[in-house]
Structure formats: C-alpha cells, structure tokens
Amino acid sequence: MDYVGKSHIRVDAYGKVTGKAKYTADLCPKNALVAKVLHSTIANGEVVDIDISEAKKVPGVVGVFTCFDVPDIEFPTAGHPYNLDPSHLDPADRKLLNKRVRLYGDDVAAVVAEDEVAAVQALKKIKVTYNEFKPYVTARASMQDEAPVLHPNISKSNCFSHISFKSSNDFNYDEAKKKAIEKYGEDNLVEVCANIKTPLISHCHIELPVSYAYVDTNGKVTVVSSTQIPHICRRVVAHALGLPWGKVRVIKPYIGGGFGNKQDVLYEPLCAWLSTQVGGRPVFLEISREETIVGTRTRHPMDGDVRGLITKDGKYVARELVNYVQNGGYAGHGASITAKCTGIFKNIYKDELGVNSEAYTVYTNAPTSAAMRAYGVPQACSFSEFLTDDLCFKAGLDPVKFRLENCADENSITGDQKFYTYGLKKCIEEGAKHIKWDEKRKAYQNQTGNIRRGVGMGIFIYQTAVWPISEEISAIRMVLNQDGSIQVQSGATEIGQGADTVWTQMSAEATGISFDKIYVMSTQDTDLTPFDFGAFGSRQSYVVGFAIKTCGELLKKKIIDRAVDLELTKGKKADELDIKNNNVVDKSGATVVSVGDVAMNSLYSQTKAEHIVAECTKQTLTNTFASGCTFVDIEVDMALGKIKINDIINVHDSGTVLNPALASAQVHGGMSMSLGYGLSEELLIDEKTGKPLNDNLLDYKIPTAMDAPDYSVAFIDMKDPTGGFGNKALGEPPAITASAAIRNAVLNATGVSFYQLPLTSQRLVAGFKEKGLID
C-alpha cells in the first residue's frame, strides 16, 4: 500500500500545537448566556420543594429552572446505535432535571444568566427541600431488599440486569469440579477462589464536557458539543426535548479527549432545552472538573467472585465469575458493558470442562458508570489475569507457558465475532522475549530484602466494532476540487486519536489521490455529514475503513468514467485505466491525464458539465478479534509499598498497523491509563452518605508525565482479511492489561496476591504486613 502503513504526520498536528484548532468553547458566540447546574447534596431521596425566588432576583439572571419545570420525558443517555427493536434500546431512566435524586450531585435545577458570576450567585440562592433516604453505594448493598428501588419504571429491583454466559447451557462450576476430580484426582488439580475488586475511576479527559445550544433561524435546536457521537447525540437531544429528530442539529468541533465519557449524551439535552426556554438565545454550559468526576460517567467498579480450576500440568479445567457491578444512579451503558466484560472473561481462555461468566448490574447511589476506554474489559482481564497467575503460582507453573497452552485461539471463539487472523500467541512470545521472561523469572526467585523485583504479564482479546450486538454502518462523501484535491466527509469523529490522519491515508489509498491533496472535514454536522455512529468500541478505523474504500473506489470510477466521456483518455477505455499519484494512468502506469484536468474539464464543460462527487453507505457485517498483552518488569519497595516500573511493553495484534507512529502513541496513552488504573486512580465514595471524597485532581491521582516510565510497543503486523485495510481494533485495547501485568509482577516479586486495584502504598503495605513480609 502506498499510504496506509506509513507514519504520516497528523493532519491536525500543526493546528493543534499552534492553537489554531478550534474547540467548542472557542466557537461559542460572544453573546451567549451562561448556564449552571444545581446538584443535589444528598445521594438518595426526593426533591420536595425548590424555592427560586431569591435566585431570580440576582441581577443578570435570565431564568431559573427546576426539576418541576422540565418536560415529563425520560430518556436514555448511552451512545449506542439506535435499534428498531424496542427491547434493544437502553433504559430511558432520567429527565433533564430529576426530582428523584439517585446520587450525590444529581441535577435538580439550572440557572441561565448573562454571565457566569450571576449564574453562580443565583445557584447559591436556590433553596431545595429534600426527603432524604439512606444511600446504598455498592452493588451488593443496593441489591438488599431494604434498599429503595431507584428506577421502578425500569426494573422491580435495583439489579436491572442479570446475565450468565456459559460454555454450555447446563454448565455448573461445582459439577465441573466434581467431574475434574473424578478425571484427574484431587491431587492433580489446583483451585483458586478469590474476590476481586476494581475501582471506580474517572476518564480525566483534558477538555471538560462543554456545549452550547441555540435555536437557529430555521427553527432547529442546534447544539455544538464536545461529543464523540454527534448523530446519536442528535437523537437523544430530540428524544429528551420531545422533538422530531430532524429538528435537532448537532455540530462537533475538535474535542479534547473523551475516552468514552463523551460517548454518553451528558448535558447537551439540558443545554438545548435551556436555550428553548430563553427564546432560543445561545446558552453555554461547561461543567467543572468536580462536576465531571461526580456527575458525568465513570468506569464501573466491579466486585467479582472468581473461581478457577487447573490441572497441575497446566490445563484450564473450569472457571467461574460471579460479578456484582456497581452501575451508579443511572443506566448509561450499564448492561452492555457488563455483557462485554462477561463475554471476554468467558472467551479469553479455553476451559476443558467449561466456564460460567455471570453478572448482576445494579443501580446504586453512586456516580453513574458507563463507557470508558475498553468498555468493561480491564475489569474482565483483572478477573481473568489475577486468577490465572494465582493458579500458576499455586501450581508452580510458568504463566507464559500456561497461557500459550490455554489462551483463546483461532478456533476457540466462533460466531459472528471471531479471529479472522490470530496473533495472540505471537504477541505473548514477543512480549516474553522483550522482557527477558525466562531469564528474569529465574533471577527473581527467592528474593529477600526491601527492594524486590518481579516480572508479570496479562493478556486480552478485544472485538473490533460492535456488530452484531449493534448495527455497524458508516457513510462517506468525497468532493472533488478543481485542482484534483478532495474533501472527505464522515460522521465518524476525530477525538484526539488521529482518526482524521488515518482517514486521509485510507482515502489516498482508495482514490490514488495523494495524501497532501486530501482534506478530511474534521467537524461533524448532523445536518450535512454522512451518517456514522461515532467514536467508540474501537470501531471507527475498521468500519469507516470499509466505507472509505468503497467510496474511494466509487470516486475513482466516476473520475475515470468522466475522463473517458470527456474524451481525455486518448481513446483508452475505463477498464484500461486506474488512478495513481493524482493521475489517470494506463496499464503500463503511464499518465493519461491528471485528475485535476479531469475535474476542470468536467466542471467547466459547456455541454456536459458535472461536479464530481461520490457518496455511499457501507454496512459492516463482520467483527474480528484483536488481541495482545502487557509484559512488565517492576521493583517493589516493600517498606514504602511503592512500585517502580523498570520496563514495560504492550504487544498488539491489531492487524495491519495503519500508521505506526500514531499507533504507538495510541498505545502509550492506553498504557498510561492502565498504569493509573493499576497504581493510583480511585474515586472514593463514602458509603454512609454517598458523597465522593476525592472529586478533584488534587486528591484523585492520575499519573503525570513524571510518573510515566518509558513505554515499549510492538505490533504483530498481520493483514486481517475482513478489514478495509487489514486493520483491527487498536483504540481501546492498549488500556486493558498493564494493571493486571503489574499486579502479577508484584505476585512474582513478593509472593503476595492482591485482589483490589489500584495497588496503592496503603494496600501493598497492609498486604505485606498481613503476610509477615514487613513489620
């Protein structure tokens, strides 16, 4: 390939480093009103009364709106493709402002004012009277009979989803264990049972959720937003406001990160509605970091009871996960993230006698959990990889060899989602080689002293896109300019990951027009951009790739056909021609006419003029698994409970690597997130009050540049036969396994199994003390 597979510089690099790139807040009209939201100070209860009389008197206040004023419409916020089957729709479980308070920080009122100062002053003067209930923060707590049901319209109990994915319908772990004992004898088996907990964390994207809305001259409610999912956002805003979908327009400029938080529709509906309440004037609504951490979305904390059974000679016999998923106050993506976690746990290993992966997804009085990079799979791989290493440790088996024997392979997963190419074992081998696994495992045996070293690993598998769980389509439009350059329009979104650059490479590949002559329109506008669901599920490069390939070939055909029709091809027919490097060429590769000349002759023909454009929708009906692993070499300061990363590598099987430099950067970012997940990030909620204890970036610890080790990255570059350009998922997978690999390296270094992330100093010191390793 001429363009795909090369490390082209990002098309937005210059604009972003020079500050030219415009984000939502940059674009907001000068005269916009400012909206601020009043959040509940209780975690569970009802608003009985709101007194806004004093708030309305604040100079500059244009309007004060409460949960008693909003439309009586409940809507879902998850950024899922719509489905014509109502049973596939997400729970519609919240209003624009909520009388029924389900979490601390729920939205109960809003102020619109001429400026931020007036809005904030007015907020302080709103008096809310609550009828307060006891909060139930965790999944297990909220499943108790005593807990008030948070969404009786959605579910009779707070557990709104219970699923069980089994290797076969009649699989039962205890029965399997009995069978295994019969087959192998109890002495030849090793079992581990554990309770594993993953933390509640925040996405910590740089740009806070921000939108502004106005009613346009044509009566459309127009929302400019930092969203990953403009077309879905349009639908949800329309739903929330009770409007026909075409009456809403969503525009998405550059965005400063999302990581899944902006795959939920957050304050866009409220912002839009507030504008309709103040005569359609532009209303700007940006929330603070504190509001973002508490009131938007988080990664699901999961609390899983795992059991695993292996033979002493290294064969997985049976596994079980019973997972209690704290979903927080609203459904968001709840059940589907749990489902993804549950499915990956089931599929990541081959179990001789089977597996049960089971989960309860539960409304609780905690921040709402929803999509976050890798969508339940960091949790799944915490369960699977902690368990697997514990089993190996207990059986004295080598975790690499064990995984090479037992991990999912090209035949173990069947159905619509499967490995069309398989590179996981190669990834493991490559990672082991890089980290000098065998050598270090030997060297790190029998350590004593305060500093102890260890190596660890973790593996993952990950679907590309969301088919067949949801529909997968993408549409592309290409517009030819007079100089032979083109614009490429897509509803898929650049969210910082480099999508625009990869679309440019793909478009060049598909059309024969060179990289520098391809202009991807970065801004999505639901009124104009071809349809696409947006950035999530590691879908875009795969699904959009198909669409670009199809549309590019259509454009190429149109250009060649026009060249023939306009008699520019020296008598050569369309089937003898191709486009390469901006020229229509013949079979020998010789230039027949430039694309620019075809464009000019086509547009300015006095008798048969045509503006050459191509547009098409491409539906994706395949889904291929990506996979990979992290290997890490750490040292543990036993007394301080401090982990230092000496070496870390992610190895990915993501099919063809579209842009190696961008791919590496993507992996670096993901590894950094996984380090935070493993070592320091945790949003603490007081279980008595439901109040967050560290809802700010001073107390909530994300890794900084100072905390970052040197990241190594390797790719098993295998062209996937289904991918438009041979590529598979890479957006989310890098965020999955570093945390598990580190946890397993701690086990290797110290012999201590930890079951709760993050591995803070407190937890490590407590663990080491418990085992008598330190005083």
Of the pair 416, 439, the CB lying nearest a second copy is at 416
Residue 415 lies near a second copy (rule: CB under 8 A): no
Out of 1, 6, 16, 197, the only residue in the binding site for a second copy (CB under 8 A) is 16
- Which one of residues 405, 471, 561, 576 is an interface residue with a second copy (CB under 8 A)? 471
Please tell me whether residue 21 binds a second copy under the rule CB under 8 A. yes
Return the number of the residue (114 or 687) whose C-beta is nearest a second copy: 114
CB nearer to a second copy: pick between 281 and 691: 281
Q: How far is CA 664 from CA 29, 240, 281, in A?
A: 38, 40, 44
Examine residue 51 and tell whether it contacts a second copy (CB under 8 A).
no
Residue 600 touching a second copy (CB under 8 A): yes
Which secondary-structure segment (H or E) carries 176? helix 173-184
User: Residue by residue, what is the 3-state secondary structure of 73-136?
Assistant: CCECCECCCCCCCHHHCCCCCECCCCCEECCCCCEEEEEEECCHHHHHHHHHCCEEEEEECCCC
Give yes or no for residue 11 binding a second copy (CB under 8 A): yes
Is there binding between residue 478 and a second copy (CB under 8 A)?
A: no
CB 31 within 8 A of CB 282: yes
Chain position carrying tokens 């590529």: 727
Binding window for a second copy (CB under 8 A); candidates: 238-246, 354-362, 371-379, 632-640:
238-246
By CB under 8 A, name the one of 87, 146, 219, 575 that touches a second copy: 219
DSSP annotation of 735: G
What CA–CA distances, in Å, run from 133 to 43, 82, 95, 130, 475?
8, 35, 20, 9, 48
Number of residues written out for the chain: 775
Closer by beta carbon to a second copy, 164 or else 481 = 481
Cβ proximity to a second copy: between 198 and 463 the closer is 463
CB 632 within 8 A of CB 648: yes
Under the binding rule (CB under 8 A), the answer on residue 416 touching a second copy is: no
Residue 468 or 751: the one with the smaller Cβ distance to a second copy is 468
Of 263 and 594, CB closest to a second copy: 594
Yes or no: say if 474 and 492 are a contact pair by the CB < 8 Å rule. Answer: yes
State the Cα–Cα distance between residues 692 and 39, nearest whole angstrom.
13
Q: DSSP alpha helices (H): ranges in 362-493?
A: 377-395, 399-406, 424-435, 437-443
Query: Out of 23, 130, 133, 245, which residue is the one contacting a second copy (CB under 8 A)?
Result: 245
Cα–Cα distance measured from residue 529 to residue 235, given in angstroms and rounded to the nearest whole number: 15
Per CB under 8 A, the list member of 604, 698, 705, 775 interacting with a second copy is 604
Structure tokens at 363: 């409304």
In the set 603, 661, 665, 708, which binds a second copy (CB under 8 A)? 603
| Contact positions with a second copy (CB under 8 A) in 511-540 | 517, 519-522, 527-528, 530-531
Q: Residue 283 pairs with which residues in a beta bridge?
A: 33, 213
Q: What backbone torsions phi and psi does residue 628 show, to the nearest 5 degrees?
A: 165, -170
Query: What's the closest the beta carbon of residue 241 comes to a second copy, in angstroms?
Result: 13
Minimum distance between the CB of residue 65 and a second copy, rounded to whole angstroms? 21
Q: In whole angstroms, how close is the CB of 160 to a second copy at the nearest point?
A: 24
Amino acid in position 233? C
- Nearer CB in complex with a second copy: 280/660: 280
Near a second copy by CB under 8 A: residue from 45, 63, 81, 367: 81
414: exposed, middle or buried (Cβ count in 10 Å: 0-12, 13-18, 19+) = exposed
Q: How many CA atoms lie within 13 A of 759 on its CB side?
A: 32
Closer to a second copy by Cβ: residue 603 or 702: 603
Q: Does 83 bind a second copy (CB under 8 A)?
A: yes
Question: Dihedral (C-alpha) 262, 263, 264, 270: value to the nearest 10 degrees?
Answer: 50
**Which residues fall within 8 angstroms of residue 246, CB to CB, at 6 or more apart?**
none
Tokens of 683: 């949003």
- Binder to a second copy among 48, 117, 443, 609 (CB under 8 A)? 609
State CA 535 to chain mean position distance.
Answer: 8
Q: Is 694 in the site for a second copy (CB under 8 A)?
A: no
CB of 590 to a second copy, least distance (A): 24
Residues that bind a second copy (CB under 8 A): 11-12, 14-16, 20-21, 26, 29-30, 81-84, 214-220, 235, 244-247, 254, 280, 468, 471, 473, 475, 477, 479, 481-487, 489, 517, 519-522, 527-528, 530-531, 600-601, 603-611, 613, 615, 617, 619, 621
